Amino acid sequence: MDFADMLLNRFDGEAEMKINNNALICFSTLETGKVLSKLATWIIRSKSEKSAITLLYFIEKSEEIRLNEEMDEYKHKIISDFISTEEKDKITLRLFIQSSDDYYADIIKISEEQRSNLILLGIHYQELNPGIIKKYGQLKSDPTLSDIFILDQFEEKEAETLKDLNAMFNKNRVSTALFLDNGTTQFKRLFIPILQKSDIHIFAYIYRIAQQENVKIMIWDAIGMIGSEVKIQKLYQFISKRTEGRIHLWDNNKKIGCDFISEQDLMIIGLEGWRKLICTPLPWTDCLPSTLIIKETINSIQL
């Protein structure tokens, strides 16, 4: 059974929405953590089991010392602000607040302790400009360039962050996503480019997010996968029917421009598709909304 068949069987039997999941959300800006938590509740929520979210909030060492005696009260305030009473009945929420000398090691340590099957790392555009990540990806696509040379093209703090991100995607044994927060506060309009067949795992996320009311999802099937492969077409049609027509296909006879992209709240794309997108001379890639880049490890996540 290939992955398309497996997804269709999960969706058709309603097993997809009955799975309990455990997500680790990492961030160092509260606004980013809050909006990413909202998205995560849509992705991991189960109809029959209680799923879990672990929040890992990185702060400066001086802030950690200052909050020492007030840490419990501060944690309670964050948790109350991040998740509604209704969601608390469906999702177990844990919070860790700490400084770090090795972000990657700390994330892996806590993900293993909490048995997370999905890691979501949120970065606000003021922490690391999305253009920097795009430039890094373009340089990484050139096999003649060494990692040392590539990192030398960035400021020291930028290089350290990029090095950690690269390790997260390449070494993790669980599904991992990078959320580039460009200031979004809602997820009503979503844009999903499909540029690689390997990005079929995105359909599991589309199916779950499209369960929400007032969500409109536009899929750009740049490689014609939905139209040319019977199993993928059947999967798309099934999701469209089960989600009351909230997903739509972009007309490939029309050009995508910045006007359309600027209307979107979020772009979701697979890692391989992202690597292809940023190396393609499309002018609208310079005006992307908040973006979720996902590397799926099929056997490690039940989504």
Determine the pLDDT at residue 98.
Answer: 94
Q: CATH top-level class for 19-181?
A: alpha beta
Average pLDDT, integer, range 174-178: 94
pLDDT tens-digit map of 191-228: 999 999 888 889 989 988 998 989 999 999 999 999 89
Question: Looking at the domain 189-295, which fold is it?
Answer: Rossmann fold (3.40.50)
Range 69-89 average pLDDT: 84
Terminal alpha carbon distance of the chain: 17
Confidence (pLDDT) at 16? 52
pLDDT at 15: 54
Per-residue model confidence as pLDDT tens digits over 216-274? 999 999 999 998 999 899 999 999 988 888 999 999 999 999 999 999 999 999 999 99
The answer to whether the CB of 205 falls within 8 A of the CB of 301 is: no
CATH 3.40.50.620 domain range(s) in the chain? 19-181
- When pLDDT is cut at 50, 70 and 90, the band that residue 1 belongs to is very low
